[in-house]
A and B are shown apart, each in its own frame.
Chain A
């Protein structure tokens, strides 16, 4: 089930909110857990038992790990728990990739390939595996105690707002709120507004742009002129941002309604003046995870420069691989890793010299080119597309995608860059981080309700084509 579906908006969410808020506070975790199980089981019936089973196993391994004073045993338990979490991820997400590539090598050297039944990917596995890893490692490091109750731990892993697409919530960030949390009605309202903002970003911007991006990339890329290629990649850049950040907004908003404070996941990433800064603003919770659980254990900055560059590059390579089991994701990760290393090697000084705005433009272009590889899975096609970007062939360009697409794209670009202006910063601060007064609520609330209806209209207008059957 996804948030931008009718079943979620019409049935699941109202039913959940009613049950959650009429229950005594002590029951609310159980209510949330039950609804989260239904949420996951509804969309992925094949995998709910796998998810629950692995979570229960991990819970008990971590308990054993916490209880033992034997360091070697502690390490063993830690390794075992991580193996359970990441083993599932590796199997379900990467088995097909490894087997396909292995078969390619076998056939290249003239050996017989072996048959393998394709593995289906359980939805959300990338996120809940990482959350589980944070629980194991944070407990191992002594940053926190393990959960007393199994249900609380399962709730941490399976909580529906962030189960499917993050943000990746570290165990130490949320542990306290799972045990006990305060409820403020004003926060519930703010959470609702945040949810509506996310829903609008997804339905009114990302989906509108995305439909045209699919059409544009569905054609013969070698015939695409440079103007169309740049518009296409700019559109995809916006689609991805508004889709993903919209989902994060919805998750954060839902969390707020329930009394949780999930970490922010995006901070105007396209306002970044370098790729290093971009990664501090884009999918921030993944960045934090990679930093805390991979980059630092690899040695981080506390080593030679060459080793640091290597660490950085590897982290981004793996980060790319985390996004998907395909070569284009690996190349995309490596591409970003290269830019980060280059910036450490001196490119950032060049950015400082040329000033903020040119740096932001250059960074935006670098990011866009990266998204081309990210979006187009076939590497030959991706390369063709990139060559069209830089062919500077604008002769046959035509504004052929219709006014709604271009208007939405302009609006998306305006929102993406508004944070560069002082007014934009104020607007963002007011929208996301201000405790509204009663008067402000009286204005914002009807707008939010209107937007909910409007989003439902947009969501359901797609495919709604009643035909003429004259008066009967």
Chain B
């Protein structure tokens, strides 16, 4: 009996270990996934070279780490232990402040040292960069205005700016005398007359005078409700700026609820077994106020992740004809035609837009626009032919530098493009990095001349809502397959095809 017991227990041990292996390889038991974005490694390829130089072993260990069976349980268990016992966590992005206030590490750094130090230790160099960017933005603003396109900056406070009293102690950052992008830009925007909304000042004033939390203890972004009120202000701002009537939003009655996504995004990143109990916040439902006279502008946003709260809460489709979001001027969301800014015809995009919002929080402001501003300035002033002729000179420069040229050749091989294409792309990149180097007219505070005659404002936007419905109905009628489906659906629902088409068109407009 005892012997059998021992045997059963030991066999069970081996079975459990084997289960761990199988789960690692197949993930056949579905567990609640860990929160946060992570890049999981792929199974490395075993070759003689990778084996002998130990690359395979290193990569395989990483693979095992990333795909560990029951990783979700194991990590949550350990994270809960370090959180419960030591009020700390293993995620280096999340720092724990006073009274369990959580902060993203970048915000803590920016508070104590200014994010500029990531790139330069010289405040003068950074001031120069900010100055150039401010001047470029002013020029772009004025040039776009000629085409009835309005660009503005929405400056958002980081959590550290509004709630510095709960920040973790500074043990790492020792260079407090930097120049902060927010301070520099605010002053220069005022002097140059650049359009901006300063939510930093607004939030500071609101901090002790509102009944809801502007930032929650366990979130890194502004709270849902705070962003709702900000968006209301943005619409009003755009109406004044563009002298247009835009659909307004109504913020409903506030109600108290348990902290919900994304107000606890940092809390979730801790990946604990038991979620941190956070104080409830106030929430409100946001609706678009029907206004048949309102225009639906084409609204481009370039910026950081603070925009996502708008996507989450605001009925953007009902307000805007289109609202593509160029995340850090790189990946594009909410645009059926493009997924990356690399694919864009910038001239066309600029002329399609009614409003362009640069939406940056204080931590990210030092990279305002993520090179969009310089690129837009070049495109507004010079046609493709002129830019290409400058690019040809840059390409010659690259070719005369063997190291640089070699790096381009390698890049071309890695990206599976021709060397000529890689050279051109790099030349354009270099020009956009600092167009003033190549175009004398762009230097200094003098306004350059626009190439207006080549730029034609398009108007696939600013259409009233009823036209949208009719457009959608027409579109459905033009699609035979869709129409066949709707015929069946109409029969099932006992209504006419015409009614079914209208129902589907409305559904599409509301949900797409």
Contacts and interface: CB of A to CB of B under 8 A. Distances in A.
A464 B261 contact: no
B3 interface: yes
Given A7-B60, A441-B6, A466-B269, A402 B86 contact: yes
Interface stretch (A146-154, A181-189, A284-292): A181-189
Contact of A10 (B2, B10, B20): B20
Contact of A403 (B37, B61, B64, B88): B88
B413 interface: no
A218 B3 CA distance: 53
A468 B5 contact: no
B38 interface: yes
B88 A11 contact: no
Nearest to B308: A470
B456 interface: no
Nearest to B48: A45
A14 to B, nearest CB: 4
A345 interface: no
A453 B70 contact: yes
B227 to A, nearest CB: 12
B74 interface: yes
A461 interface: yes
Interface residues of A, number: 50
A463 B265 CA distance: 20
Interface stretch (B76-84, B150-158, B316-324, B352-360): B76-84
Contact of B37 (A186, A458, A464, A469): A469
A5 interface: yes
A438 B92 CA distance: 44
A349 interface: no
- Secondary structure dominating the interface of B: helix
B220 interface: yes
B495 interface: no
Contact of B68 (A10, A400, A402, A458): A10
B9 A189 contact: yes
Interface in B89-135: 90-93, 104
Contacts of B70: 453, 456
The interface centre, meaning the residue of B16, B37, B262 with most chain A CB atoms within 10 A of its CB, is B37
B73 interface: yes
A334 B35 CA distance: 54
Interface string A430-472: 0000000010010001000100011011101111111111111
A453 B104 contact: no
B175 to A, nearest CB: 19
A404 interface: yes
Given A454-B77, A457-B79, A14 B21 contact: yes
Contacts of A461: 75, 78-79, 82, 90
Interface of B: 2-3, 5-7, 9-10, 13-14, 16-18, 20-21, 24, 34-38, 51-52, 54, 57, 60-61, 64-65, 68-71, 73-79, 81-82, 85-88, 90-93, 104, 171, 220-221, 261-262, 265-266, 269, 271, 305, 308
Given A185-B3, A457-B74, 9 more contacts: A10-B69, A14-B14, A45-B52, A441-B5, A445-B13, A449-B13, A456-B74, A462-B90, A468-B220
12 contacts: A402-B88, A438-B5, A454-B74, A457-B78, A457-B79, A461-B78, A464-B38, A464-B91, A465-B90, A465-B91, A466-B34, A471-B262
Closest 8 CB pairs of A and B: A466-B36, A457-B78, A469-B37, A185-B6, A6-B64, A457-B74, A461-B90, A14-B17
